[in-house]
Structure 1
Amino acid sequence: MNQKEMYDATNIQVLEGLEAVRKRPSMYIGSVDSRGLHHLVYEVVDNSIDEALAGFCTSIDVIINPDGSVTIIDNGRGIPVDTHPKYGKSALEVVMTILHAGGKFDKSTYKVSGGLHGVGVSVVNALSEWMIVEVKRNGKHYLQKYKRGIPEEDVALIGEADGSGTIIKFKPDSTIFEELDYSYDTLSSRLRELAFLNKGIRISIGDRRSDEESKETFQYEGGIRSFVDHLNKNRQTLHDDPIYLEREKDNIMVEIAMQYTDTYAEHVYSFANNINTHEGGTHLIGFKSALTRVTNDYIKKNNLTKDDSKLSGEDVREGLTAIISVKIPEPQFEGQTKTRLGNSELKGIVESLVSESLSDFFEENPKIANQIIQKSLSAKRAREAAKKARELTRRKSALEVSTLPGKLADCSEKDPSVSELYLVEGDSAGGSAKQGRNRAFQAILPFRGKIINVEKSRLGKILKNKEILSLITALGTGLGDDFDISKTRYHKIIIMTDADVDGAHIRTLILTFIFRYMTPLIDAGYVYIAQPPLYKIKKGKAEHYAYTEKELKQKLKQLGEKGISYQRYKGLGEMNPEQLWETTMSPETRTLLKVTMDDAVTADEIFSILMGDEVAPRKEFIQAHAREVVNLDV
Structure 2
Amino acid sequence: MSERQDYDATHIQVLEGLEAVRKRPSMYIGSVDTRGLHHLVYEIVDNSIDEALAGFCTSIDVSINADGSVTVVDDGRGIPVGTHPKYKKSALEVVLTVLHAGGKFDKSNYKVSGGLHGVGVSVVNALSEWMEVEVKREGKLYYQRYEHGVPVSDVSEIGNGDGTGTKSTFMPDPEIFETTKFDYNTLISRLRELAFLNKGIRISITDSREEELEQDVFEYEGGIISFVEHLNMNRTALHKDPIYFEREKEGTIVEIAMQYTDSYGEYVYSFANNINTHEGGTHLVGFKTALTRVANDYIKKNNVGKGDEKLTGDDIREGLAAIISVKLTEPQFEGQTKTKLGNSELKGIVDSMVSEGLAEYMEENPKVAAIIFQKALDARRAREAAKKARELTRRKSALEVSTLPGKLADCSEKDPTVSEVYLVEGDSAGGSAKQGRDRKFQAILPFRGKIINVEKARLAKVLKNNEILSLITAMGTGIGEDYNLEKARYHKVIIMTDADVDGAHIRTLILTFFFRYMTPLIDAGYVYIAQPPLYKIKKGKKDYYVYSDREKVAKLDEIGEKGTSIQRYKGLGEMNPEQLWETTMNPDTRTLLQVSMEDAVAADEMFSVLMGDEVAPRKAFIQKYAKDVVNLDV
The answer on whether the counterparts of 1:397 and 1:474 sit within 8 Å (CA) in structure 2 is no
Tell me, in whole angstroms, the C-alpha distance in 1 between the residues paired with 2:443 and 2:523: 22
Tell me, in whole angstroms, the C-alpha distance in 2 between the residues paired with 1:379 and 1:534: 44
Q: CA deviation at 1:148?
A: 1.4
Tell me, in whole angstroms, the C-alpha distance in 1 between the residues paired with 2:515 and 2:486: 18
From the superposition, tell whether residues 204 and 614 of structure 1 become closer, same or farther in structure 2 (CA, over 3 Å): same
- Opposite residue 401 of structure 2, the aligned amino acid is V
Task: Spell out the pairing of 1:595-634 with structure 2 (5 A cutoff).
Answer: 595-634=595-634
Match of residue 552 from structure 1: 552
Match of residue 416 from structure 2: 416
Per-residue Cα deviation, 1:9-49 (whole angstroms, up to 9, x for no partner) = 22111100001111111110111111111101100000100
Tell me, in whole angstroms, the C-alpha distance in 2 between the residues paired with 1:77 and 1:376: 49
Tell me, in whole angstroms, the C-alpha distance in 1 between the residues paired with 2:559 and 2:174: 30
Match of residue 203 from structure 2: 203
Question: For 2:392, what is the secondary structure of its paired residue?
Answer: helix
Q: CA deviation at 1:363?
A: 0.5
CA RMSD of aligned residues (A): 1.3
Tell me, in whole angstroms, the C-alpha distance in 2 between the residues paired with 1:598 and 1:18: 27
The answer on whether the counterparts of 1:535 and 1:568 sit within 8 Å (CA) in structure 2 is yes
Match of residue 504 from structure 1: 504
Question: For 2:625, what is the secondary structure of its paired residue?
Answer: helix
Match of residue 212 from structure 2: 212
- Opposite residue 164 of structure 1, the aligned amino acid is T
Match of residue 49 from structure 1: 49
- Opposite residue 121 of structure 2, the aligned amino acid is V
Q: CA deviation at 1:599?
A: 0.9
Question: For 1:393, what is the secondary structure of its paired residue?
Answer: coil
Q: CA deviation at 1:540?
A: 3.3
The answer on whether the counterparts of 2:28 and 2:117 sit within 8 Å (CA) in structure 1 is no
TM-score calculated relative to the size of structure 1? 0.98
From the superposition, tell whether residues 578 and 263 of structure 1 become closer, same or farther in structure 2 (CA, over 3 Å): same
Match of residue 343 from structure 1: 343
Q: Does 1:183 align with 2:183?
A: yes
Q: Does 1:151 align with 2:151?
A: yes
- Opposite residue 441 of structure 2, the aligned amino acid is F
Tell me, in whole angstroms, the C-alpha distance in 1 between the residues paired with 2:546 and 2:160: 58
From the superposition, tell whether residues 83 and 186 of structure 1 become closer, same or farther in structure 2 (CA, over 3 Å): same
Q: Structure 1 unaligned runs (5+)?
A: none
Match of residue 236 from structure 1: 236
Tell me, in whole angstroms, the C-alpha distance in 1 between the residues paired with 2:116 and 2:421: 40
From the superposition, tell whether residues 378 and 128 of structure 1 become closer, same or farther in structure 2 (CA, over 3 Å): same
Identity of aligned residues (%): 77
Q: CA deviation at 1:306?
A: 2.2
From the superposition, tell whether residues 296 and 243 of structure 1 become closer, same or farther in structure 2 (CA, over 3 Å): same
Q: CA deviation at 1:399?
A: 3.0
The answer on whether the counterparts of 1:30 and 1:36 sit within 8 Å (CA) in structure 2 is yes
Match of residue 467 from structure 2: 467
Task: Spell out the pairing of 1:274-293 with structure 2 (5 A cutoff).
Answer: 274-293=274-293
Match of residue 168 from structure 1: 168
Question: For 2:353, what is the secondary structure of its paired residue?
Answer: helix
Tell me, in whole angstroms, the C-alpha distance in 2 between the residues paired with 1:453 and 1:11: 56
The answer on whether the counterparts of 2:65 and 2:207 sit within 8 Å (CA) in structure 1 is yes
The answer on whether the counterparts of 2:294 and 2:359 sit within 8 Å (CA) in structure 1 is yes
TM-score calculated relative to the size of structure 2? 0.98
Tell me, in whole angstroms, the C-alpha distance in 2 between the residues paired with 1:71 and 1:386: 52
The answer on whether the counterparts of 1:236 and 1:261 sit within 8 Å (CA) in structure 2 is yes
Q: CA deviation at 1:312?
A: 0.3
Tell me, in whole angstroms, the C-alpha distance in 2 between the residues paired with 1:262 and 1:5: 49
Q: CA deviation at 1:537?
A: 2.2
Task: Spell out the pairing of 1:90-489 with structure 2 (5 A cutoff).
Answer: 90-115=90-115, 117-395=117-395, 398-489=398-489
Q: How many residues align?
A: 633
Question: For 1:206, what is the secondary structure of its paired residue?
Answer: strand
- Opposite residue 56 of structure 1, the aligned amino acid is F
From the superposition, tell whether residues 397 and 519 of structure 1 become closer, same or farther in structure 2 (CA, over 3 Å): farther
Moved more, 603-612 or 386-395: 386-395
Match of residue 24 from structure 1: 24
Moved more, 524-533 or 271-280: 524-533
Question: For 1:27, what is the secondary structure of its paired residue?
Answer: helix
Tell me, in whole angstroms, the C-alpha distance in 2 between the residues paired with 1:397 and 1:468: 20
Tell me, in whole angstroms, the C-alpha distance in 2 between the residues paired with 1:81 and 1:158: 13
The answer on whether the counterparts of 1:397 and 1:475 sit within 8 Å (CA) in structure 2 is no
Moved more, 24-33 or 3-12: 3-12
Question: For 2:28, what is the secondary structure of its paired residue?
Answer: helix
Question: For 2:186, what is the secondary structure of its paired residue?
Answer: helix
The answer on whether the counterparts of 1:133 and 1:166 sit within 8 Å (CA) in structure 2 is yes
The answer on whether the counterparts of 2:3 and 2:54 sit within 8 Å (CA) in structure 1 is no
Q: CA deviation at 1:168?
A: 0.9
The answer on whether the counterparts of 1:528 and 1:594 sit within 8 Å (CA) in structure 2 is yes
The answer on whether the counterparts of 1:396 and 1:473 sit within 8 Å (CA) in structure 2 is no
Per-residue Cα deviation, 1:388-412 (whole angstroms, up to 9, x for no partner) = 1112222467431010001100000
Match of residue 82 from structure 1: 82
Moved more, 115-124 or 517-526: 115-124
Moved more, 111-120 or 85-94: 111-120
